[in-house]
Structure 1
């Protein structure tokens, strides 16, 4: 199993797709709840993110630290991955910190605009006022 998580970290989209097609659960997760999708998003592998989404990965899974693949993609400022996750139905307010809170905390106006551009956020939405914790990397 560690090999599969390493593939997600390294961006092994084709090999992961082959494994999923052969029966590996697309939402396979580490003991800390980091799915293949979360790992791919955090390690900035857009092709792997889109491949896993195409295979049915859940864009809203939350790891043990309360984080989602969308929050990881926002933290990495990966516009293509954020767009793919939003198109797949990822909720920008899910998780703690959420993708929206991550963008606000790290002062990422481009990510905030991207999250609000696709009707993901309604006008007048604001952060709940809490300061999110530091985004620690998935392992």
Structure 2
């Protein structure tokens, strides 16, 4: 009888272990969905339960990156106040600041500029937040980035700089 009970418990524990990644994935999906939607009450529940704020999905996105990209300013604020790291990069090297600039979320971009990240942080293509601001004509952010210490003359591998991009000069990679 003890062997039967032991085998049953062993089997049951194996099932629980097998199901654990699904539960973890579901939690992660709820967390990221809350960030995308700006569901601050749900995010606060994750924060209160000490969920890993800088957890990344399969593309490297964090809740902060998703909230910034989707224009969820209140969610961005809650995540930052709870200790989310604004300097985390996705798999392409982009940050929450770069996402906010790309989407034209200027208020969120300015909030992210107030964090302790290097303003010249580069993505995988060698681009900086200032280059994004120049490329997408967010010229009002160039002064803010420069004030934070961003080098507006820094260049990516193609020779693009924030200053050149803001003037409409785009250099394309050379084919070999």
Runs of 5+ unmatched residues, structure 2? 1-27, 161-169
Give the paired residue count: 130
Runs of 5+ unmatched residues, structure 1? 134-139
1:111 equivalent to 2:141? Answer: yes
1:33 equivalent to 2:57? Answer: no
Whole-angstrom CA distance in 2 between matches of 1:102 and 1:114 = 13
Aligned to 2:33: 6
Whole-angstrom CA distance in 2 between matches of 1:48 and 1:58 = 14
Conserved 8 A contact 1:9-1:39: yes
Aligned to 1:89: 116
Q: Following superposition, which runs of at least 4 residues in structure 1 exceed 4 angstroms of deviation?
A: none
TM-score normalized by the length of structure 2: 0.67
- Secondary structure of the 1:107 match is coil
Identify which range, 76-85 or 22-31, moves more after superposition: 76-85
Structure with greater contact order relative to length (CA < 8 Å, sep ≥ 6): 1
RMSD: 2.0
Whole-angstrom CA distance in 2 between matches of 1:47 and 1:83 = 13
1:99 equivalent to 2:129? Answer: yes
Instruction: Tell me the CA shift for residue 132 of structure 1.
Output: 9.1
Instruction: Name the larger-Rg structure.
Output: 2
Aligned to 1:120: 149
* Deviations, residues 78-121 of structure 1 (Å, cap 9, x unaligned): 2221222121223322132321111112222112223224x333
Instruction: Tell me the CA shift for residue 67 of structure 1.
Output: 0.3
TM-score normalized by the length of structure 1: 0.83
Whole-angstrom CA distance in 1 between matches of 2:102 and 2:109 = 10
Aligned to 1:16: 43
